[in-house]
């Protein structure tokens, strides 16, 4: 039942909760180890052969599988930081679908870890077809995950289906979510006109839904930076003013506004302003997202790097911080350091 491995304490817990005799666990583990069925490393037990593990699991009744997966969930929830993919997997297996969705959507790497894709597919297969909200939310999460991992064709197909569904069912939230993802992706891919179109569509859809101020702020940020990259500075300032008006008095939205101002200043080469904004915000300069460097990087690499590339951002932050603001290093010197 354990997906990858287990400890002695895990086995003792399952044995006790299923009314078994905990006294047989250690002798049984020793026997299976001698028979080359299990092996251990630092107190963690593994199956030697996946085929044997699969056959053993398939021999269990489905009802018993559900009970055992539920016990594994109980066991994992006692951990300080349970492995999110494994937890969602066991929640699905014990048919706690709504809890699995909530766990998935609150996991920090839900939009980057491809291991979640088959789990999302499994949830979509098992959810009630009438549960439109959960299905929409999962589909948008999957689309974002695919986009963030460069699987653009799959994501594009999924987003087209979502938009078709949104128009058919007059589902503004579905349309807003799909256009939101497309606006973000197209801006990162330097498709500025498409980003602007999708951003305006998302903003219009969010405007018809209560409680979407944070989403509207994110879209205004995308539109502002998109216009900045296009050289449409008056339009960018209009979006920034609209974002400032929306964010007034709301800390979460003010954080989006501040980050947008930093990103815009960096793109325009106003490094002192960006640094000042970062220091006022009491954050580490090296954590700033240096999105304006990507076009310069593209000049010397010969292709456009993704704006979200973590390594590019980290190297360029290191190269452009104190040296550019306080020193006299040239772009060529900094480029060499980044390389």
CA 136/CA 63 separation, integer angstroms: 30
At 185 the pLDDT is 87
pLDDT higher than threshold 80 for residue 307: no
Question: Residue 249: phi, psi to the nearest 5?
Answer: 85, 0
Condensed to tens digits (0 to 9), the pLDDT of residues 2-12 reads 878 888 999 99
CA 85/CA 189 separation, integer angstroms: 29
The closest of 133, 136, 134 to 181, measured between CA atoms, is: 136
At 202 the pLDDT is 92
At 118 the pLDDT is 94
| Planar angle of CA 94, 100, 129, nearest 5 degrees | 90
Distances from the Cα of 53 to the Cα of 22, 122, 124, 273, angstroms: 21, 21, 27, 59
Condensed to tens digits (0 to 9), the pLDDT of residues 172-189 reads 888 888 899 889 888 888
Residue 262 host element (H or E): helix 251-267
The closest of 222, 71, 306 to 230, measured between CA atoms, is: 222
Confidence of residue 305 (pLDDT cuts 50, 70, 90): very low
Condensed to tens digits (0 to 9), the pLDDT of residues 224-279 reads 999 999 999 999 999 999 999 999 988 888 888 988 998 898 888 887 887 777 66
pLDDT higher than threshold 60 for residue 26: yes
Count of CB atoms situated within 10 Å of the CB of 39: 12
CB of 10 closer than 8 Å to CB of 44: no
As beta bridge partners, residue 7 has: 44
pLDDT higher than threshold 80 for residue 335: no
* Maximal C-alpha separation, the chain: 76
At 304 the pLDDT is 36
As beta bridge partners, residue 38 has: 47
Q: What is the mean pLDDT of residues 151-175?
A: 83
CB of 48 closer than 8 Å to CB of 72: no
CA 243/CA 238 separation, integer angstroms: 9
Confidence of residue 337 (pLDDT cuts 50, 70, 90): low
What is this structure's pTM? 0.68
As beta bridge partners, residue 301 has: none
Q: Strand, helix or coil at 130? A: coil
pLDDT higher than threshold 80 for residue 302: no
At 333 the pLDDT is 58
- DSSP conformational letter for 48: S
At 308 the pLDDT is 40
Condensed to tens digits (0 to 9), the pLDDT of residues 196-213 reads 999 999 999 999 888 889
pLDDT higher than threshold 60 for residue 301: no
């Amino acid at each position: 039942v354990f997906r990858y491995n287990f400890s002695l304490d895990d086995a003792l817990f399952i044995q006790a909760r299923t009314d078994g005799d905990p006294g047989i666990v250690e002798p049984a583990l020793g026997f299976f180890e001698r028979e080359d069925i299990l092996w251990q490393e630092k107190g963690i037990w593994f199956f030697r052969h996946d085929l044997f593990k699969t056959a053993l699991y398939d021999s269990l009744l489905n009802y018993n599988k559900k009970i055992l997966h539920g016990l594994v969930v109980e066991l994992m929830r006692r951990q300080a930081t349970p492995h999110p993919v494994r937890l969602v997997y066991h929640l699905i297996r014990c048919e706690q679908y709504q809890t699995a969705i909530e766990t998935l959507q609150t996991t920090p790497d839900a939009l980057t870890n491809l291991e979640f894709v088959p789990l999302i597919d499994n949830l979509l297969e098992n959810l009630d077809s009438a549960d439109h909200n959960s299905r929409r939310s999962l589909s948008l999460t999957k689309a974002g995950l695919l986009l963030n991992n460069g699987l653009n064709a799959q994501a594009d197909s999924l987003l087209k289906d979502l938009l078709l569904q949104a128009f058919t069912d007059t589902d503004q939230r579905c349309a807003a979510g799909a256009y939101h993802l497309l606006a973000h992706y197209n801006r990162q891919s330097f498709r500025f006109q498409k980003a602007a179109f999708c951003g305006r569509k998302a903003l219009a859809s969010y405007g018809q839904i209560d409680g979407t101020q944070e989403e509207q702020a994110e879209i205004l940020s995308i539109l502002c930076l998109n216009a900045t990259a296009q050289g449409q500075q008056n339009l960018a300032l209009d979006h920034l003013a609209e974002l400032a008006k929306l964010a007034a008095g709301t800390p979460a939205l003010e954080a989006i506004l501040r980050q947008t101002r930093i990103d815009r200043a960096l793109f325009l080469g106003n490094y002192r302003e960006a640094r000042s904004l970062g220091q006022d915000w009491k954050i580490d300069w090296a954590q700033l997202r240096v999105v304006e460097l990507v076009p310069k990087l593209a000049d010397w690499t010969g292709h456009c790097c993704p704006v979200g590339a973590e390594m590019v951002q980290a190297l360029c932050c290191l190269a452009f911080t104190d040296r550019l603001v306080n020193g006299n290093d040239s772009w060529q010197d900094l480029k060499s350091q980044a390389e």
